[in-house]
Amino acid sequence: MADMNIASGIREFAISTPGATAVVDGDRRLTFAELDDRSNRVATLLVDAGLEPGDRVAVLCGNRMEYVEIAAAAGKAGVAMVPLNPRGTAQEHASLISRSGARGLIADDAFEANVPEMAEILPLALSLGKQDWGRPYEQALAGARAVDPKVRVSETSPFCVQYTSGTTGLPKGALLTHRSRVLTMLGCAVDFGLGPGKRTAAVAPMALGAGFAFAYAGPFMGGQTSMLRRWDPEQLLSMIERDRLQTIFLVPTHAMTLRQVMEGSSRKYDLSSLETLYFNAAALPVPLKEWVVETFPHVGVHELYGSTEAGIVSNLRPADALRKAGTVGHPWFMTEVKLLDEDGREVPAGEPGELFGRSPYNMIGYLDDPEATAEAIRPDGFLTSGDVAVRDEEGFIRLVDRKKDMIISGAANIYPREVENVLQTCEEVAEAAVVGLPDETWGERVAAFVVPREGHDVDFDALDATVREHLAAYKAPKEWRTVDELPRNANGKILKRVLRDTYKS
């Protein structure tokens, strides 16, 4: 029996539909035959540089055509990718290359300033575009052997070392297997309409777990992926119209800026090709979700919940998109979920518990970090999410908050998400984040950071009254601040530790 491998879809459709378009990148297009050939050449470059099965190659690249062929090449060579976040610094990248033991680097000239000096001493150094280091990528491909090395690699071997975004400290390298991502992409085909001839886009950064899986799933499943080099809502709308895109993955911040553009522009785009939108990275505020459903009435809207370590954990499907808005749906395919109390016992419906999941998408551990792995994965294989959640009587899961973000004020436990959900219903609020700040009397006090909606003034007294109308008085913020924007990581998740560290004094 053949093992699952992320290169398999590229190989298969290079035979069955060689002339079909696999990737669109501006004016550039790759057919499946061309993608297969180019990824063969990259694979032989990896093998000829001495990289063996299980070795690693770092990739510092934006959303561009080459990302797909590099990933397929790594699968063909049995080499694991180490995606580097384009927003990182040269020093951060040097640290991750060293910690991961990567023996090669392929880097995009758009991020030349972030290439560490150590790149020159690696066995393989390829530069995309005009850079003063490494071997030019296209020149290397032209001279490479055009054969598929077909290195045998187990489906339970890592295809990638995906470093966490570091919201709570030093990033950890999650080991994600070929099987986990192949099954994820097959599930995407079932739920989100990816498949042969279907058209999608790479919108979220491919250097991140979800951004890669959902973009690569296009050609892996025999479809087409259009590359959005950087987030630009108007460019995405034009791309949907031009390429007749059918299914797109977005994060809530994308929806927010799309709303601003579409409400403020007289231009009408032809978006009739869209069939599916699916969201991840953070919960969609209910008012924003209502706008999405109202604006795209012909589109199925999914809301996913997951993590770097666990992949997709649950999905709120279109049939319940509004009826159960505010939840993240039911566990995804082949996924078991438990909500446990502090003693490891399952909690009943309506009671909050820490969410644990077990599925074939889960990481197999953190690279060279057995202690962190043991903290994350229970002996029975269930992986912690770090989130507190509640299940209702129908089994729908509602996230209460990050366990580490819970505020303890006096003797009361306060979940910031409750307050944030109320604030998101206020017309003048574009975004809100609630954190606990040190307080001499209460231990912590509730502080709210509000981004005003464009053209609106914020009345804190009115916001306070709204919170107190919906929640117990002790949950109301004691400190209010307006900010131009909220700090985020590359996944779009709000960095509450930055708010705490900045305003704790």
**Helix, strand, coil percentages, rounded to 5, for the chain:** 35, 25, 40
**pLDDT recorded at residue 125:** 96
Q: Tell me which of 287-291, 369-373, 420-424 is least confident.
A: 420-424
pLDDT digits (tens, 9 = 90+) for 118-127: 988 999 999 9
Look up residue 319 and give its DSSP letter: G
Q: State yes or no: pLDDT of 35 exceeds 50.
A: yes
Closest CA to 159 of 140, 189, 121, 185: 185
pLDDT digits (tens, 9 = 90+) for 346-392: 999 999 999 999 999 999 999 999 999 999 999 999 999 888 899 99
Gyration radius of the chain's alpha carbons: 23
Distance in angstroms (rounded) separating the CA atoms of residues 99 and 42: 24
Q: Tell me which of 193-207, 322-336, 344-358, 428-442 is least confident.
A: 428-442
Specify the CATH class of 1-177 in words: alpha beta
Is residue 84 within 8 Å of 106, Cβ to Cβ? no
Distance in angstroms (rounded) separating the CA atoms of residues 302 and 493: 18
pLDDT digits (tens, 9 = 90+) for 460-486: 999 999 998 888 788 899 999 999 999
Q: Which range, 6-10, 403-407, 466-470, is most confident?
A: 6-10
Q: Compute CA distances 110 → 67, 131, 171, 208, 409, whole Å.
A: 14, 9, 23, 17, 46
For range 422-449, the mean pLDDT:
87
| The model's pTM | 0.84
Average of per-residue pLDDT values in the chain: 92
Q: State yes or no: pLDDT of 19 exceeds 70.
A: yes
For range 70-91, the mean pLDDT:
95
Q: How confident is the model at residue 411 (pLDDT cuts 50, 70, 90)?
A: low
Tell me the domain boundaries of the chain. Answer: 1-177, 406-503
**pLDDT recorded at residue 143:** 96
DSSP letter for each residue of 87-150: TS-HHHHHHHHHHHT--EEEEEGGGGGG--GGGGGSSEEEEESS-SSSEEHHHHHHTS--S---
For range 231-258, the mean pLDDT:
95
Is residue 60 within 8 Å of 114, Cβ to Cβ? yes
Look up residue 333 and give its DSSP letter: T
Domains 1-177 and 406-503 share a fold: no
SS3 312: strand
For range 394-408, the mean pLDDT:
83
Length of the chain: 505
Q: State yes or no: pLDDT of 74 exceeds 90.
A: yes
Burial class (CB in 10 A: 0-12, 13-18, 19+), 297: exposed
Q: In sequence order, what are the residues at sequence separation of 6 or more whose Cβ sits closer than 8 angstroms to the Cβ of residue 498?
A: 487
Q: State yes or no: pLDDT of 130 exceeds 90.
A: no
Is residue 326 within 8 Å of 348, Cβ to Cβ? no
Q: What's the fold here for domain 406-503?
A: GMP Synthetase; Chain A, domain 3 (3.30.300)
